[in-house]
């Protein structure tokens, strides 16, 4: 089974972060399992807080890692024993000392300075990072705010990743919390078709989204994934299950 290009490397493993909070001793073998599974091509790097990098290295992980640096970290320090392919940081500027091949994701809050801060990523190999949820309603951006972020990145040719609150494929209202969750499939279609991004972000019918996804051309898929590179999820199984239910991911029998 080969995962379609629309979903390859889309799901960064954030299982050690809330609300999953999986202990490292369980998260590392679980990630190894993902890497050996039939859906392995859909799985991105293992995300870990930089403060726990030594603990992670002691477990000798044999997979790529992205370290989440403390907010405002000014300089990256290599970690022996880890294959660090990326770093993520909430800061006004990129950290210094990044080796070749280590891509940074600069987390930017929505506000007056957002688009000015995006400018520093133009003509670099680095990405923007935008928070799409959290543990409180105010952590979830509106459709208009998310659409403005996507448009700002598209206009500048800046790739981006998203984080938090995006475990499901389709936009929905959480029946327990009442939070308005964006869907990762909504975002993929918005990235593929920026002129109609607001419409795609607002769609709540999984069937309609799936039908549009099936009709994407190779060029549109490439456009989407150059822009929307990944999102962090504390569950790899949950987004895969959504795609399977929509008929967009099926394991072929051997």
Angle at 78 between CA 129 and CA 69, to 5 degrees: 30
Angle at 182 between CA 244 and CA 238, to 5 degrees: 30
Domains of the chain (ranges; CATH) run 11-245 (3.20.20)
Share of the chain above pLDDT 90, in %: 91
Q: What is the pLDDT of residues 169-178, one digit of tens each?
A: 999 999 999 9
Structural contact between residues 183 and 177, judged by C-beta atoms closer than 8 angstroms: no
Q: What is the pLDDT of residues 214-229, one digit of tens each?
A: 999 999 999 999 999 9
Q: Identify the CA nearest to 165 among candidates 249, 97, 113, 233.
A: 233
Given a cut of 80, whether residue 237 has pLDDT beyond it is: yes
Q: Where are the beta strands (DSSP E) in 57-201?
A: 64-68, 83-90, 103-107, 127-131, 160-163, 172-173, 180-181
Q: If you search the block for the tokens 């930089």, which residue do you land on? A: 50
Given a cut of 60, whether residue 43 has pLDDT beyond it is: yes
Given a cut of 60, whether residue 159 has pLDDT beyond it is: yes
Of the pLDDT bands very low, low, confident and very high (cuts 50, 70, 90), residue 120 is very high
The C-alpha atoms of residue 130 and residue 127 are separated, in whole angstroms, by: 10
- Residue 92: predicted pLDDT: 87
């Amino acid at each position: 089974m080969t995962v379609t290009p629309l979903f390859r490397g889309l799901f960064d493993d954030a299982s050690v972060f809330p609300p999953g909070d999986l202990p490292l001793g369980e998260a590392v073998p679980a990630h190894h399992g993902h890497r050996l599974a039939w859906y392995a091509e859909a799985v991105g790097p293992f995300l870990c807080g930089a403060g726990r990098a030594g603990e992670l290295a002691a477990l000798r992980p044999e997979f790529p890692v992205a370290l989440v640096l403390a907010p405002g970290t000014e300089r990256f320090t290599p970690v022996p024993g880890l294959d660090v392919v990326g770093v993520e940081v909430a800061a006004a500027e990129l950290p210094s000392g990044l080796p070749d091949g280590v891509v940074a994701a600069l987390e930017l809050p929505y506000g007056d300075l957002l688009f000015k801060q995006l400018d520093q990523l133009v003509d670099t190999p680095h990405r923007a990072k935008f928070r799409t949820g959290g543990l409180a309603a105010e952590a979830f951006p509106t459709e208009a705010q998310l659409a403005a972020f996507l448009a700002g990145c598209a206009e500048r040719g800046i790739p981006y990743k998203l984080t938090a609150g995006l475990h499901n494929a389709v936009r929905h209202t959480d029946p327990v919390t009442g939070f308005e969750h964006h869907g990762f499939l909504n975002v993929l279609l918005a990235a593929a078709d920026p002129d109609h991004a607001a419409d795609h972000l607002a769609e709540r019918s999984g069937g309609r989204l799936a039908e549009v996804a099936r009709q994407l051309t190779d060029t549109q898929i490439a456009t989407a994934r150059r822009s929307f590179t990944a999102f962090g999820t504390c569950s790899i199984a949950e987004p895969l299950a959504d795609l399977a239910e929509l008929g967009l991911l099926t394991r072929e029998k051997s």
